[in-house]
Each structure stands twice: as structure tokens, then as C-alpha cells.
Structure 1
């Protein structure tokens, strides 16, 4: 719920929900992997609410908790997916909100390098989309196109609203470059357009 509140633009509600999750007795009984997931969600909500130092502290707690996770911890099934790649992805989203472009790019790269892309193809594609957006924002549109090509490859056969949003984002970010004669831009724009026609 805190994640959804952040995505819907209700940062204070997100902070309230996430904080309730880490301040209850259940949190003290949670496995390290569970605690890491709860802390990184709290970090994102704090960042969205403008609480920079608290967000960074929550990220550090999440890293420590995930580092302490081990096989045999008795993790509930609902958190099995939360591995290093997931933490890196959510850390990057938090750093994005905090305006740390270099940090977010580093963490998106960590997520891409550590994720099992064949198992989590949709999330992998979304991470690559975010990463390409950061590269474009830093003025490296050709690197962004290379990254987006990987994202579009990962979207093959994926029917998802998030995949559609990624394709919309690519076309939006590329729009100022569309008529500059950059072949990589033309290729990605056309491929993203084809995805939108397929998943519409």
C-alpha cells in the first residue's frame, strides 16, 4: 500500500503506511529479507516526502538487513523474489527521487547485472527503461538507446501495463531527438511504437 501511495502521488500517506510497517511488533519478528523489503519501501516513501536523511538511513538499514539474510531463514513466500537486484532497483528509484543521478544509474546498473532476466523479464525491462531514461537525462542519448534496445528485447511476448508505460516513456523522452537524424533514436522510437500497437 505504501508503494502504491508513493506511485499515486500521496507521499505522506505512503510514509504513514511504511512507518507503521517498521514500527510494529511484527517487524521485530520478521526475517532479514522481509525487513529489507519493508525498509526500502519506507525509504522510497520518505524520499518522495522530502525527508532525505531519513530516506538514506532507511536505505542503509535495508542493505544491512538483506546482507544478513540467509537460506533457512524461513522467509515467507511473499518475499522470495526480493534479492539484490530488487534492492538495487528500489534503491535507484529512491535516489532518482532524491536527485542523485550518478547513484541511481549505478544502482540501476547493479540491478540489471544481478537480476535473472529470464525469470523476471517484465521487471528487467522496466529497470532498463528507467536506466535509459537516466542516461538520456544525463545527455547520453545513444547510450540510452542501447539500453532501451535491451529493454525492448526483454519485452518480447510480455503483455503488461508497465511494459506499455515503458514504451510510452521511451517515445516521450526521445521526442526532442526525433528529427535530428540519429539512427538509434529512429530505431528505438519505431520499436517502442510497435510495442504500443501490440499491447494496446
Structure 2
């Protein structure tokens, strides 16, 4: 069920089916957690599975821009993994809490969270899984000014990703797609935090190539939107407009507050280009305006 809801989320955005997922957590999943089991191992597995549903509820709240609610769901997921005795899964929740702090520009505790998560899996997880934690630490360091150490951590994460096998990922990590695409995306965000727009663009492009649109429309579109921002920051206006056009193509039918914010940001930048007489920017802005009108909440 969690895999199904996650696929829907990736295709249609976090607001599609959100009420159903929350109700599923409150009813079926809550009842399951209170049930009697024939063994402690089965009970632990059920609690860990329930943590996956709570995590998805947190992700959907985050995609709606409700960050306080997202954190509460993530903390509920963390409590379930601890009760299950599943340290690796618990580390995964600490990892998303670190990313959430960076995304809302509250990086104060993110390095501590990333350090704790990486310490819990280091030497215990397969390389592909460990790479997801290593790149989280790199991004956290970049967000607090630790440029040199962040660059070293990026290289370590990339080495782990290249040597790893996605088939070895635990279910709670595999659910969210290619580890190589994730490492590339967060590498791009690390370089963005360091002000290196050329490398950020390159790695966003690499991530987008590894996330074909079919079934991954939301994340592919958001990645392309970010790539376009990096192109625009370098003065590559036509390239940025082309990339943003591809992002808009993928966003049809996606219900996501993050997508709404991205399109608003694209329009702000297009407005600047339009005032400079860039015809391509004017035409794309009209497409973005039509998208906004169709997806207004």
C-alpha cells in the first residue's frame, strides 16, 4: 500500500490522495500497530512498515508547504522505528529531518542530524544506501559554510554511489528512486549553497537524466526547474527558458505546493528577461501563467 501511494505521489504530486493516506495511517495502520503478533520480530516489522506510512504523510505535508506538520509526522515515524529497534530506518528519518531543515532555511541542527544519521549506518549499510547519508552531510556542511569539508564529503558520496548496487537498497530507501539520481540532485544543491552555479547546473542535469518523466513527473519537473535557475544565474537565458519549458510540460496534472512555488519563481525571473526584450521569455511566461490558473487552489 505504501509503495502504491508513493508511486501516486511521484506521478501526481503530494496533494493527490493525501487525505486517503492520512486516513489509512489513522485507521488500518494504527489498528495494525495495536494488534497482537505471534512473534516480536513480526511486531517489529509491522512498526517499521507503519513508520513508512507516517514518513509518507510527512512528505505530503512538506510538499504542501506545511513544514511544522511534516516534522511531526517525521518524528512519529522516528518513534515507530525506535520502538521497532530498526536503527537503519531510524537513521533514514533523521536524514529527512536534516533535509527538511535545509529546505526551510533553518540549518542550525542539520549538521548534527546528518552526522548522527551517517554514524548509524556507516559500515553497516551497503554503499548505495550509505551514499544517500553521505550526500546529506555534504549538503548540510555547505549550508553552514563548511565548503572544503563539504567538497570532500561530496566525493565520498559519489564514490559510494558508483560502487553501490541499487538492488541492495532497503525497501524504505528504494521506494524513493535511483540513489544515483538522488546523490546527483543533492550534489547540485550542495554546489548551489557554495555559489558554484556551473557545477550545480551540471549535477541537476545529471539527476534529471536519471529520472525519466514517466512515473516521476513531479521530481523530474522540480529538478529541471532548479537546473533552469542555475542556467539563468549564469546568464544562459535561452537555455534556461528551454529547460523551464520542459519542466512545465511535466507539471501538467501535478498537485504540489512546491510546484506552485517553482512556477511562481520561474515567472519572476521570466519577468526580468521579458523586460529586457527576450521574446522567448514572454512566450514561456504566458505558458506559466496558464499553468498557474489551471492549478490555483
TM category (shorter chain) comes to over 0.9
TM-score in terms of structure 1 length: 0.92
C-alpha distance in structure 2 between counterparts of 1:71 and 1:150, whole Å: 27
Alignment-derived partner of residue 31 in structure 1: 126
Instruction: Determine which of 103, 114, 121 is the counterpart of 1:18.
Output: 114
Report the counterpart of residue 45 of structure 1 in structure 2: 140
- Closer, same or farther: CA 96–71 of 1 in aligned 2, 3 Å: closer
Partner of 1:198: 294
1:84 aligns with 2:185: no
RMSD between superposed Cα atoms in Å: 1.5
Write out aligned runs for 1:112-151 (5 A): 112-151=208-247
Distance 1:72 1:37 in 2: 14
Contact kept? 1:44, 1:94, Cα under 8 Å:
yes
After superposition, give the CA deviation of every residue in 1:99-134 in whole Å (9 maximum; x if it has no partner): 112111111121222222212111111111111111
The 1:71–1:20 alpha-carbon spacing in structure 2 relative to 1, beyond 3 Å, is closer
Judging changes above 3 Å, is the alpha-carbon distance between structure 1 residues 175 and 77 closer, same or farther for their aligned structure 2 residues? same
Residue 56 (structure 1) aligned with residue 151 (structure 2): yes
Partners of 2:188 and 2:136 in 1: how far apart?
12
Larger-Rg structure: 2
Structure 1: stretches of 5+ with no match in the other structure: none
Structure 1 SS opposite 2:235: coil
Indicate which of 93, 100, 113 corresponds to 2:189.
93
Unaligned runs of 5+ in 2: 1-96
Distance 1:72 1:109, change over 3 A: closer
Between the aligned partners of 2:108 and 2:259, the Cα distance in structure 1 is: 28
In the alignment, which residue of structure 2 is the partner of 1:102?
A: 198
Contact kept in structure 1, 2:127 and 2:164, CA below 8 Å: yes
